[in-house]
Chains A and B, each alone.
Chain A
């Protein structure tokens, strides 16, 4: 297996066209896969020192994050904390310190686990990804980007350059919870994130995303439509809970059963909505 360090985008574009070439940045997913025989690249292209891909910039009410930016750096970057507080909340629960000091945002997305933590806030934010290869430069929505377990729209030779994320509206409330067997280093059993514009008992707009309950992280659009423009009530929350559970398609695996995951997703939504309806409870 060959190892090359790409310090420029040109290096990366060139090497990525080679047969059996794969990008390594933090390596926290790839090296584990390789250890288990689930990946066997011929060439590893290390982009860990490719500064061009590790920038964080604010451009027109969006935060633009280079794909090779480490998760721990994002947590220490004021522009991310100021404008994307939900992303920070989620990143705090990703892996552990040791993982966050190596893992990159682009890596978490390109690995495309159905449990990918960063996919939840990115779906809620309607983030876009800039994908680049030797000849093309295109933008796709995070929704379009994720296709299935371990599958994305990246074609061979193509890489994520930047993730563009619109600012989180400051008046909106955020919720995120991830269920797993321990506090850290968990691949989630189920997770739920919500962004909501809730004023005077009425849901003006709501966005709901769930993880580990479908082939990719997903928005629960039916639930969003159910709740949009309506006053919260116990009855409506119960409807939303049932619809959320019905909207997902989890599987049985070593971490949990389908039924458990389905139930948990509904319960997490109910818990959050009830906390809005009755904050004293």
Chain B
């Protein structure tokens, strides 16, 4: 089936089996290895991508369901080689250890901060509750989100 959607800001059309998992299409057909499979069941958040701006698990979506949608993966955050402020914050605060959970956390953080530019700790925890991290103990990840709010506030808005 032909599937048309917007991927990381570009219109794409692909030929895919509509019942193939989105995570497999993104990783194998489109070479977007930033979408990680931690569990394949929507329990770990490692495969989180933004669908029309909202976090979803790519392992629980079918290729056919992305038709006509706007999809953003972690690869779509960097522009011209420069890290997105959320990525910079995660790196800066030491919130990345093995890095496997990181793209997923980053995508949920991007979505959160677009909706709530200065979230409370409770709001951060609620937004990130769909992710697990085996390495960090989570504190640095919370620091990263707080640091990201500062970095984003410093950004000069483009008109």
Contacts and interface: CB of A to CB of B under 8 A. Distances in A.
B131 to A, nearest CB: 8
A90 interface: no
A98 B43 CA distance: 9
Interface residues on B, range: 20 to 34
A101 B58 CA distance: 12
Contact of B60 (A44, A46, A72, A102): A102
B25 to A, nearest CB: 13
Given A46-B65, A48-B65, A102-B56, A97 B40 contact: no
Give the interface centre of B21, B43, B45 by most chain A CB atoms within 10 Å: B43
Contacts of B131: 96
Contact of B55 (A27, A28, A98, A183): A98
Contact of A27 (B61, B67, B108, B126): B61
Contacts, number: 76
A44 B64 CA distance: 11
B42 A32 contact: yes
Given A3-B19, A32-B41, A46 B130 contact: no
Contacts of B1: 3
Contacts of B42: 28, 32, 95, 98-99, 185
Given A31-B60, A96-B129, A102-B60, A185 B65 contact: no
Interface in A137-188: 183-185
Contacts of A184: 129-130
Interface string B12-49: 00000011010000000000000000001111010010
B51 interface: yes
A35 B60 CA distance: 10
Given A1-B19, A32-B41, A35-B40, A97 B130 contact: yes
A99 B41 CA distance: 10
Contact of A72 (B19, B54, B65): B54
B87 interface: no
Contacts of B45: 96, 98
Contact of B57 (A44, A92, A99): A99
Contacts of A97: 54-55, 108, 111, 126-127, 129-130
B56 to A, nearest CB: 5
Interface in A1-58: 1, 3, 5, 24, 26-28, 31-32, 35, 44, 46, 48
A156 B15 CA distance: 32
Contact of A101 (B54, B64, B65): B54
Contact of B61 (A5, A72, A102): A102
Nearest to A25: B65
B61 A98 contact: no
Nearest to A95: B130
Contacts of B108: 97-98
Contacts of B129: 96-97, 183-185
A187 to B, nearest CB: 10
A174 B33 CA distance: 46
B60 A27 contact: yes
A184 B125 CA distance: 10
B41 A35 contact: yes
A107 B41 CA distance: 16
A101 B55 contact: yes
A183 B130 CA distance: 9
Nearest to A72: B54
A251 B96 CA distance: 41
B130 A96 contact: yes
9 contacts: A27-B62, A31-B21, A48-B65, A98-B56, A98-B130, A101-B51, A102-B56, A184-B129, A185-B42
Given A99-B57, A101-B51, 20 more contacts: A24-B62, A27-B65, A28-B42, A28-B57, A31-B60, A32-B41, A32-B60, A46-B64, A72-B54, A95-B42, A96-B131, A97-B54, A97-B108, A98-B57, A99-B42, A101-B55, A102-B57, A183-B129, A184-B130, A185-B130
Q: Top 5 nearest A-B pairs by Cβ distance?
A: A96-B130, A184-B129, A3-B18, A101-B54, A98-B130
